[in-house]
Structure 1
Amino acid sequence: MTRISFFHGANDRLHAAAQWVAEAHRKSTPVLIYTPREEHAETLDRLLWTQTSLGFTPHCRTNAALAAETPVLITTQLDAPTDKRTLVNLSDDIPAGFDRFSHIVEIISLSNEVRLPGRDRFRFYREQGCSIESHDISKNA
């Protein structure tokens, strides 16, 4: 069964995602970041290079030569089978084949254009019998 973690209350969805991914990397959790918007993928790429003053989060695109060896991958399409990575869904839709992931992280900002579709995804996951946890990150995002 897929476990879903909602992190709601983010001031900036992409910054909050980059922070979560950096923490997951520190815990040796392999991650696949899905965002269908190319400009968001580019922004995340920059954030993962620069967000910490003492380092960066190793990452690349799914089509890069070193993708199989890289702990964090960024993609704009979910059309390939996945390995055991945690999916960070930055789409406003249910990710295709969501049930092939053991863990999905949803970052929800305060913006209605992100928050309202997030509520719909929450209801969908609940109806599918997924295990759902919710975290308020408004104080630190």
Structure 2
Amino acid sequence: MSNVMFYLLDETQEKLQQPAHFALACLLASRSYRQKQKCIVYCQDQIQAESFDELLWQLPNDAFVPHNLAGEGPVGGAPVEICWQTPTQFNRPILINLSDTVPAFHQKFRQVIDFVPALEALKAQARERYKQYRAVGNQLDTLPASSINETQNHG
């Protein structure tokens, strides 16, 4: 059983260049790295994975997060691994889900992070994922996305 945390985004966070949940996922991957916890960022497809990879490269130098696309980088992967296919190793405690579906392998992770975007079509997909996570017995929680910035500023 996994703990699944859904972050609720609002309209103000959706006005950025990239999807707001991508920006939030960058922040969460960065926080995971700083807490010495490896994570996997699971994307819908290779294009989305490469976009997310690019976003991590755009972080300021003092916020750099060692990361790689699955199959690249050091043996065992960097602290943050970005994939769009089922990972080959499950030696990481955190899964950040950017795909539209519940990853079949999500229960191999202690913590799953998912998002509820403000856009109505994406919100409907998030509701479906919530139901699917709950149906297989996961512990579910929700938090406003704004709480990340608050904890980031105080941490």
Shorter chain as denominator, the TM-score bin is 0.7 to 0.9
2:86 is aligned to: 78
Decide which of 33, 36, 39 is 1:31's aligned counterpart. 39
* Higher normalized helix content (fraction of residues): 2
The percent identity for this pair of structures is 24
Displacement of 1:116: 0.9
The alpha-carbon deviation at position 131 of structure 1 amounts to: 0.8
Q: Identify the residue that residue 69 of structure 2 maps to in structure 1.
A: 61
Cα pair distance change 1:73/1:67, threshold 3 Å = farther
TM-score (ref. length: structure 1): 0.88
Hey, what does 2:153 align to over in structure 1? Answer: none
TM-score, normalization by structure 2: 0.81
CA distance in structure 2 between the aligned counterparts of 1:21 and 1:113, rounded to whole angstroms: 25
Larger deviation, residues 60-69 vs 14-23:
60-69
Structure ranking higher in strand proportion: 1
User: Corresponding residue for 1:43?
Assistant: 51
Once residues 127 and 69 of structure 1 are traced to their aligned partners in structure 2, the CA distance between those partners, rounded to angstroms, is 32
Q: 2:119 aligns with which of 111, 115, 118?
A: 111
| Aligned residue identity for 1:40 | Q
Cross-structure match for 2:133: 125
Of 19, 22, 42, which aligns to 2:27? 19
**Structure 2 unaligned residues grouped into runs of 5+:** 15-19, 150-155
Separation in structure 2 between the aligned mates of residue 30 and residue 101 of structure 1, nearest angstrom:
11
Letter in 1 for 2:21: R
**Partners of 1:96 and 1:89 in 2: CA distance:** 11
Following TM superposition, by how much is the alpha carbon of 1:7 offset from its aligned partner in structure 2, in angstroms? 0.9
